[in-house]
């Protein structure tokens, strides 16, 4: 059964493309045709082959099937090894984005060297996503489509365990979590409006003293 011309066109175009392409880019390349059905059909066709057609952050690309890794890996290990710090920072950016450096450091309890974020930005996985409109206007960071593509995620919703972490409140700041846990039996909740900052009075300042006034 020969696939129709549009399917063949989408197949050839994505196959030849050097970068993943969005449905819109494909459509523009193919004279404005509606490519969505063709993409679905192709993804279906390739679902059991040695090659897959996958969607990563709204962009489509061909790649080898994951179970072929053992055949291909032995020749080329192209993936850079991330330091432990970079790995953690990447996860924090991905699960909390957009996130400032101070917020990253609040979670890790340690200063983040600028080199760590640089490595992630150089890899094309993290980008500056503007500034937060709070005093000091800190730079905030977010992940890129290349991040999704590299880690095989269709969208951020596919981040492993994201829903569980959300449900457990583990993506909320400590103050919010503390507030939530104690609001029932604690009336004077003065700390609620001072994220990360109620510690100036000394006692648990030790926990915060790694933050950088970025």
Partner 1 sequence: MTEDGLMLGVEVDSVNDEWEGPGAAPSVDEALYLELDGWEGPLDLLLDLARRQKVDLREISILALVDQYIAYIERAEALKLEIAADYLVMAAWLAYLKSALLLPKEEQEDPSPEELALRLQLRLQRLGAMREAAARLMARDRVGRDVFLRGAPEGLRVDRVNAWQCDWYQLVSTYGQMKARNEPVVHMVRERPVMTLDSALDRVSAMLGVTLDWMELRSFLPQHSDPRLRRSALASSFVAALELARLGRAEIRQQESFGPLHLRRLAS
Binding site for a second copy (CB under 8 A): 2-3, 7-13, 15-16, 29-31, 48-51, 62, 64-65, 68, 71-72, 74-75, 213
The C-alpha atoms of residue 164 and residue 162 are separated, in whole angstroms, by 6
Report d(CA 29, CA 33) in Å as an integer: 9
Q: Which does 11 bind (CB under 5 to 8 A by kind): a second copy, partner 1, none?
A: a second copy
Q: Which 8-27 positions form the footprint of partner 1 (CB under 8 A)?
A: 12-13, 15-19
Q: How far is the CB of 29 from a second copy (least distance, A)?
A: 7
Of a second copy, partner 1, none, which one does residue 26 interact with (CB within 5 to 8 Å by kind)? Answer: none
Indicate whether 97 belongs to the interface with partner 1 (CB under 8 A): no
**Interaction with partner 1 in 110-129: which residues (CB under 8 A)?**
110, 119, 122-123, 125
Neighbours of 162 (CB within 10 A): 15
The one of a second copy, partner 1, none whose footprint includes residue 48, by CB under 5 to 8 A per kind, is a second copy
- C-alpha triplet 47, 52, 55: angle, nearest 5°: 100
Burial 51-86 (b: 16+ CB within 10 A, else e): ebbbbbbebbbbeebeeeeeeeeeeeeeeeebeebb
């Amino acid at each position: 059964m020969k696939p129709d011309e549009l399917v063949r066109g989408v197949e050839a175009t994505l196959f030849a493309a050097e970068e993943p392409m969005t449905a819109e880019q494909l459509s523009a390349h193919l004279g404005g045709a509606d490519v969505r059905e063709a993409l679905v059909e192709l993804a279906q066709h390739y679902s059991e082959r040695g090659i897959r057609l996958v969607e990563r952050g709204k962009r489509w690309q061909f790649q080898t099937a994951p179970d072929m890794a053992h055949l291909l890996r032995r020749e080329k290990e192209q993936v850079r090894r991330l330091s432990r710090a970079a790995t953690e920072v990447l996860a924090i950016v991905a699960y909390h984005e957009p996130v400032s450096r101070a917020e990253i450091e609040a979670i890790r309890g340690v200063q983040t060297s600028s080199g760590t974020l640089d490595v992630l930005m150089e890899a094309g996985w993290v980008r500056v996503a503007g500034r937060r409109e709070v005093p000091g206007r800190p730079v905030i960071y977010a992940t890129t489509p290349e991040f999704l593509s590299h880690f095989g995620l269709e969208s951020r919703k596919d981040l492993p365990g994201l829903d569980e972490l959300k449900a457990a409140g583990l993506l909320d700041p400590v103050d919010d979590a503390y507030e939530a846990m104690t609001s029932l039996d604690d009336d004077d909740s003065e700390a609620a409006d001072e994220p990360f900052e109620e510690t100036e009075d000394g006692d648990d300042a030790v926990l915060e003293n790694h933050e950088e006034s970025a």
